[in-house]
Each structure stands twice: as structure tokens, then as C-alpha cells.
């Protein structure tokens, strides 16, 4: 069968021979180095035919549009899993228990504060709240919790309040529109609702693995509502389930289009893109972990394709020291986590020796600087 690819002009490029592939790769490389954008077909071409060095070079070129080549930034953060009770039943999750099952918990306010205090003692200042879809926790539980954190810690701590997946669930339970729910949280002092819980954003993937969670259409509607309330948000992606290359590319296509629309309408949109890898241990889905090399190549492809997102974050939580090589494949930012029960239950391990971890990117030649979470200027003034 004749292999083809479609270039930026919409022309069909024949890939029957090695010479045809090399010519197509050279055309893509010239466009990226010239500041241009690649098509989805060209992303497929890069994934299937580009060498590691070619991907590094192109990802480095897009990274250099936003960041000095030898600079990387990081944060020290803790994910606080406030409840493990969840009704979504995603088959890739080893964390949740159903309501009324043994082992379910909801952290007390004192537990939450103790975890934040410990984070501060260890030099961190970013908290990510993440938990299950717990039907016993109404919207005001979250609003009260976030308001209390803001009141107690002021600007000493910033927090990612929820993932979009949790946000959609609690808006639905409260019978509020996404805009109304976003405004309620913003008025309680929330600055960030991250793009977590996205895994792979195709309707087929959602039906196969997380059919009670949300549809992709709803996901982007909710994210747009968050953007329009003035809060910040991010893009995420998780790879290594059973997703196809086409599904990975569709996720990227939808994310790039969302960000294009935000920018066109005058919003900052997505602050960053974070990709991590599926941990299969203890899950109903099972499976095997992908290799670090596949992760690095994927990060490069994402950086090249998502040319409208400034920060690319590599996942120390799931890749440990191997995560830092992704800086050479387009990433510019990472966090050092203290805790995340969701991924730890599925097999992630956390190294708390931060000096040892930071020595790895330094040995790769990066000047590594601590980064504080940004505050949306309009909202920070009111906190």
C-alpha cells in the first residue's frame, strides 16, 4: 500500500521510499526551524520515522521560542488526596473505593493543614488537591476548604484546587452550570483548576475506560468556563494505557485547537502541558509500563505539535530521575512531589532526596531555578 502524509499546504506527500521519507522529514524540519507549525499527518510522520536526535532538535527549536536553552524551572509540591471515595470507577485507577466500601476516607481540615505545614517545612509552596468523585461532598465543602486554606496561608502557599474532572462532577451534583460553579470557587479564593483527569481525550477512550467520568466535549466546555472566569488552567495527558497513535494525536489536536481559540479570543488559556505515564499495578486494566525512551519521544512530539503552549512539564512523579532527560526533548519545567497517593497506589515511587534529584538536570547542563506558581493578577489583588 502506498504510504502518504499531508503537509502544511494540504499536498499529499508520497512516503514509498526512504528518499521520500527523508524529503518529507527535511520539509518538516525546515518549517519548524523557521517558526512554522506541523500538521497532524506530519506529527505521525515524525513519530514513525524521525530519529531521537531529530525529535530533540525540533523540540529544542520550539522550546527556544519561549525559554533559554539551558534554563529549567521546578517547584516542590504535594498532592493532597482529600478523599479516596469515588463513583467514577475508571478501570486504570488503583486508588478509589466505592461509597460504603471499607477503607474510604475524607481528610479532616486538621489533616490538610498538617500536610501543608510539612510541605512548607520542606521548602515547597504548591499544593494540588485531588480526590475521587465523592457524592457526600457538596460544592460548599470545597469552597469552605479552599477559603480556609487561603485565609490561613495567604500567599505562602498556592494551590491547584481541583482537576477539571472533579470540577465537572461537583458542578453537576450542585446543578450549576460550569460558569456558575467556577465563579463560586473563584469567589472562595481559587486561582487554579488544572487540566488533570484528562488521560486521553477521545470519546472512544473515555467509553472504554472511564465511561462515568465525562465526555470530551464537556471537558473542553468546562475548561473554557474556567478560563472565562479569570482562573488559570493547564493541559495534561497520560500515556501508556492501550491508546493508539491516532488517539494520542487526536488528544493533541483538540488541545492545540482549544488553545488557539483561547488566544484568538484574548485569553491566556493553557499555562502549561504536563504529560505523565500510566502506572498499571493494582488496577483492573493492568498492562505494562512504557519505556522512558517512548516517554521522551512523546514529549518531543507534543512540544513540536503544541507550539502555542509555553511551559512543558516533565513528570518526576512517574518517571523519577529518567524524567530529566525529557528536558532535552522539549520540556522546560518539572515538580518534585512529596506525595500523591493516586499514582503511588498504582506503583509510583517518590524520592524525597531533592538535592540528589536536582543534581541530575544540573549534570545534563541545565541551570535549575525554583519557580513559584503564578497568580492571575486580577484575582491575586482580591485575595
- The Cα 114–Cα 300 span in angstroms is 38
| Interface with ligand SF4 (CB under 6 A) | 86, 88-90, 93, 95-96, 132-133, 165, 210, 213
At closest approach, how far in Å is the CB of 22 from ligand SF4? 42
At closest approach, how far in Å is the CB of 367 from ligand SF4? 36
SS3 string of 35-55? CCCCCHHHHHHHHHHCCHHHH
* Torsion angles phi and psi, residue 342, rounded to 5: -60, -50
- The Cα 279–Cα 350 span in angstroms is 13
At closest approach, how far in Å is the CB of 243 from ligand SF4? 15
Count CB neighbours of 178 within 10 A. 21
C-alpha cell at 54: 531529530
At closest approach, how far in Å is the CB of 90 from ligand SF4? 3
Q: Which is nearer to ligand SF4, 178 or 256 (CB)?
A: 178
At closest approach, how far in Å is the CB of 218 from ligand SF4? 14
Count CB neighbours of 135 within 10 A. 13
Q: Which is nearer to ligand SF4, 88 or 106 (CB)?
A: 88
Q: What is the DSSP letter of 289?
A: P
Q: Which is nearer to ligand SF4, 95 or 366 (CB)?
A: 95
The candidate with the shortest Cα–Cα distance to 127, out of 377, 338, 332, 359, is 338
138-166 per-residue burial string, b: 16 or more CB within 10 A, e: under 16: ebeebbebbbebbeebeeebbbbbbbbbb
Q: Which is nearer to ligand SF4, 213 or 279 (CB)?
A: 213
Crossing angle for the helix pair 139-153 and 178-187, nearest 10 degrees? 30
Q: Which is nearer to ligand SF4, 165 or 274 (CB)?
A: 165
Distances (CA, A) of 339 to 120, 145, 346: 14, 19, 13
67-104 per-residue burial string, b: 16 or more CB within 10 A, e: under 16: beeeebbbbbbbbbbbbbbbebbbebbbbbeeeeeeeb
At closest approach, how far in Å is the CB of 317 from ligand SF4? 15
At closest approach, how far in Å is the CB of 283 from ligand SF4? 9
At closest approach, how far in Å is the CB of 95 from ligand SF4? 5
Amino acid at each position: 500500500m502506498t504510504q502518504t502524509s499531508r503537509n502544511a499546504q494540504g499536498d499529499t506527500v508520497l512516503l514509498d521510499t526512504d528518499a521520500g521519507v527523508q524529503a518529507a522529514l527535511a520539509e518538516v524540519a525546515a518549517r519548524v526551524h523557521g517558526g512554522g507549525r506541523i500538521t497532524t499527518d506530519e506529527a505521525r510522520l515524525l513519530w514513525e520515522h524521525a530519529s531521537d536526535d531529530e525529535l530533540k532538535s525540533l523540540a529544542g527549536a520550539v522550546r527556544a521560542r519561549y525559554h533559554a536553552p539551558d534554563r529549567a524551572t521546578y517547584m516542590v509540591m504535594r498532592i493532597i488526596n482529600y478523599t479516596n471515595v469515588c463513583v467514577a470507577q475508571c478501570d486504570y485507577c488503583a486508588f478509589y473505593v466505592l461509597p460504603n466500601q471499607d477503607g474510604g476516607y475524607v481528610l479532616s481540615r486538621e489533616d490538610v493543614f498538617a500536610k501543608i505545614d510539612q510541605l512548607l517545612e520542606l521548602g515547597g509552596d504548591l499544593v494540588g488537591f485531588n480526590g475521587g468523585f465523592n457524592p457526600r461532598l457538596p460544592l460548599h465543602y470545597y469552597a469552605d476548604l479552599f477559603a480556609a486554606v487561603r485565609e490561613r496561608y495567604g500567599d505562602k502557599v498556592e494551590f491547584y484546587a481541583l482537576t477539571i474532572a472533579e470540577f465537572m462532577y461537583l458542578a453537576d451534583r450542585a446543578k450549576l452550570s460550569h460558569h456558575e460553579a467556577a465563579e463560586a470557587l473563584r469567589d472562595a479564593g481559587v486561582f487554579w483548576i488544572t487540566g488533570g483527569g484528562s488521560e486521553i481525550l477521545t470519546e472512544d477512550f473515555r467509553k472504554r475506560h472511564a465511561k462515568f467520568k465525562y465526555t470530551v466535549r464537556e471537558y473542553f466546555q468546562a475548561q473554557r468556563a474556567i478560563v472565562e472566569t479569570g482562573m488559570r488552567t493547564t493541559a495534561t495527558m497520560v500515556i501508556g494505557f492501550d491508546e493508539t497513535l491516532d488517539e494520542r494525536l487526536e488528544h493533541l489536536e483538540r488541545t492545540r485547537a482549544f488553545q488557539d481559540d483561547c488566544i484568538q479570543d484574548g485569553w491566556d488559556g493553557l499555562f502549561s502541558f504536563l504529560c505523565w505515564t500510566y502506572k498499571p499495578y493494582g488496577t483492573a486494566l493492568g498492562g505494562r509500563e512504557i519505556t522512558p525512551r517512548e516517554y521522551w519521544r512523546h514529549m518531543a512530539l507534543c512540544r513540536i505539535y503544541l507550539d502555542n503552549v509555553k511551559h512543558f512539564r516533565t513528570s518526576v512523579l512517574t518517571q523519577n530521575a529518567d524524567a530529566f532527560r525529557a528536558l532535552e526533548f522539549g520540556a522546560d519545567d518539572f515538580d518534585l512531589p512529596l506525595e500523591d497517593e493516586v499514582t503511588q497506589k498504582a506503583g509510583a515511587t517518590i524520592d524525597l532526596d531533592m538535592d540528589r534529584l536536582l543534581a541530575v538536570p544540573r549534570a545534563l547542563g541545565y541551570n535549575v531555578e525554583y519557580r513559584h506558581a503564578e497568580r492571575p493578577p486580577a484575582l491575586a489583588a482580591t485575595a
